[in-house]
Amino acid sequence: MKMLKDKQSAHQDTWRVYGTELSSRLFIGTAMYPSPAVMQAAIKASGAQVVTLSLRRQAPESQSGDQFWQSIQSMGCELLPNTAGCHTAKEAVALAQMSREIFQTDWIKLEVIGDDYNLQPDPFGLLDATEQLIKLGFKVFPYCTDDLVLCQRLQDLGCEVLMPWGAPIGTGKGLMNPYALEVLRARLPEAKLLVDAGIGKPSDACQAMELGYDGILLNTAIAQALAPETMASAFADAVSAGRKAFHGGMMPARHLAKPSTPTLGTPFWHEQNQ
């Protein structure tokens, strides 16, 4: 618990997501950890206040769903259920409604997958589902590509938050198109932008935050690390560092070297050295 507080205190700039104030800018998934205990330790070490989870078919005699649900509830985090695995707007809308009933939240991480090879979001199905869900009172967190026009349309429909991918889910390739992400930040200054998916290293998260992104959502990079708790802490530091760097105002890169030590009075200097 002390570590959680320490991590949270490192993020002084609180922000609001659909009316909920958060101090952490790192959202993390609950899947693929070696054990429930490791998952809980990693969530605490990350300082994350928002965790993602899902719904699946399970046999009535299976206790795993109940056990998972109880362990998540005990952590007191905000819940962000997803619609992972849905390929149509109809499926996603139904699963979102099922999630709202069980998890008692109108937040939904909306995934409508268009291609199974790279799990690329289907922009058309995503817009369709977003429109329906907003009419049903949901607060939609759309998992989307970094397409500017798609993101504009999602914002027009009422999405306060947009979650473009950095790279395909689970690849850990980092930010494959930083230019597109920069354009989104520049063109959608009012949107809460989180990079969701593809983050592999803390430096990837830091890079996104340096671009002015509001947060990061990831799962695999922490859950599949050799030491998830340690990696969670590293990601918390990276997100914080990137955010501070963005606020600090980074120097523009330049082509030519320029000495940082004053050249005036350089010893051993002679005119013929030039």
Partner 1 sequence: MIEVSVNNQNRTVAKAINLTDALLGWGYAERTAVAVAINQVFVAKSDYAHTILNSGDEIDIVQPISGG
Q: Is 120 within 8 Å of 150 (Cβ atoms)?
A: no
109 is catalytic: yes
Q: How far is the CB of 101 from partner 1 (least distance, A)?
A: 5
Q: Which is nearer to partner 1, 97 or 145 (CB)?
A: 97
Nearer to partner 1 (CB atom), residue 91 or residue 128: 91
Residues 235 and 45: beta-carbon distance below 8 Å: no
CB of 61 to partner 1, least distance (A): 7
Task: Please say which residue, 15 or 68, places its beta carbon nearer to partner 1.
Answer: 68
> 221 near 172, Cβ under 8 Å?
yes
- Report the interface residues with partner 1, using CB under 8 A: 29-33, 39, 52-62, 64-66, 68-69, 72, 81-82, 84, 90-91, 93-95, 97-99, 101-103, 169-170, 219-220
CB nearer partner 1, residue 110 or residue 241: 110
Q: What is each CA distance from 207 to 132, 242, 244, 250, in whole angstroms?
A: 34, 6, 12, 12
* Least Å from the CB of residue 60 to partner 1: 4
Rounded to a whole number of angstroms, the minimum distance from the CB of residue 28 to partner 1 is: 9
Question: What single letter denotes the amino acid at residue 228?
Answer: P
Catalytic residue chosen out of the listed positions 44, 109, 139, 192: 109
**Tokens 């939904």 -> residue:** 108
Q: How far is the CB of 148 from partner 1 (least distance, A)?
A: 25
Which residue's CB is nearer to partner 1, number 122 or number 210? 122
Both structure tokens of 97: 């409604």
Query: Quick one: which H or E segment has residue 245?
Result: helix 228-248
Q: Supply φ then ψ for residue 216, to 5 degrees.
A: -135, 140
Contact (CB, 8 A) for 135 and 157: no
Could you give the CA distance from residue 171 to residue 91 in angstroms, rounded to a whole number?
A: 25
Residue 237 CB contacts under 8 Å (≥ 6 apart), including other chains: 10, 202
Give the residue numbers marked as catalytic.
Answer: 109
